[in-house]
Amino acid sequence: MIAPHRLSVKFFFEDLSIDAESFIPVFHRWIRENVVPNELLLDVADYKHVLDGPAIFLIGHEADYVVDFTDAKPGLMYVRKRDAGTDLADALDTTMSQALHGVKLTEDDVELKGKLKLRTDAAAIVLLDRLNYPNAANGDGADAAAAVQAQLSDNLAAIFGEDATVTRVANDAREPLTFKLSAPSAPDVDTILSQLGSAV
């Protein structure tokens, strides 16, 4: 399966009362200090006025980091836009590794440290590519979605534990193909990155 045009993963904050404003100086410092390896960070955009949606964007060349409030579930969303790999497995590995690195940066940030924690036992994964990965309920689209789910299950079980499960979200067909990860035995982000070699 080819790499999707864009791929996102969102990890959820443990505390639901997130101050989006506090991320603006943090993201600006990430740009100045070049804290994200293998990525060029460019700018910060403030969309707090949009209710129940993306609030603060850290815009990069390869990817964006977003403080997102969609569905009243605040989280850190990582959106890979380019250079993720040649196929879905590569794209998923790249996206997940960088997203987890973003989680660690957030938890360890000098301004946010001790205030915010992100869960590793659940995540939302979205294939932002309706052409190659349609969100269809039957026919070839359903077969493709099942193949994606199987690929995600294999990749994510290796990262989050054998009890990790991937479920397709039954959303509107006009929305992108979406899955949710449940990983009850997932370790914390430091342990996961150590197992991955943390060379992201």
Q: Which helix (H) or strand (E) holds 189?
A: helix 189-196
Q: Taking the CA atoms of 134, 143, 1 and 8 in sequence, report the sign of the dihedral they define.
A: positive
Give the percent of the chain with pLDDT over 90: 72
Q: Tell me the average pLDDT across 177-194.
A: 94
Write down the pTM of the prediction.
0.93
Mean pLDDT of all residues belonging to the chain: 92
pLDDT band at 200 (very low <50, low <70, confident <90, very high): very low
For residue range 20-45, what is the model confidence (pLDDT) as tens digits? 999 999 999 999 999 998 899 999 99
pLDDT band at 165 (very low <50, low <70, confident <90, very high): very high
Cβ contacts of 97 within 8 Å, gap of 6 or more: 196, 200
Do 87 and 148 form a contact (C-beta atoms < 8 A)?
Answer: no
Distance CA 29, CA 146 (A): 41
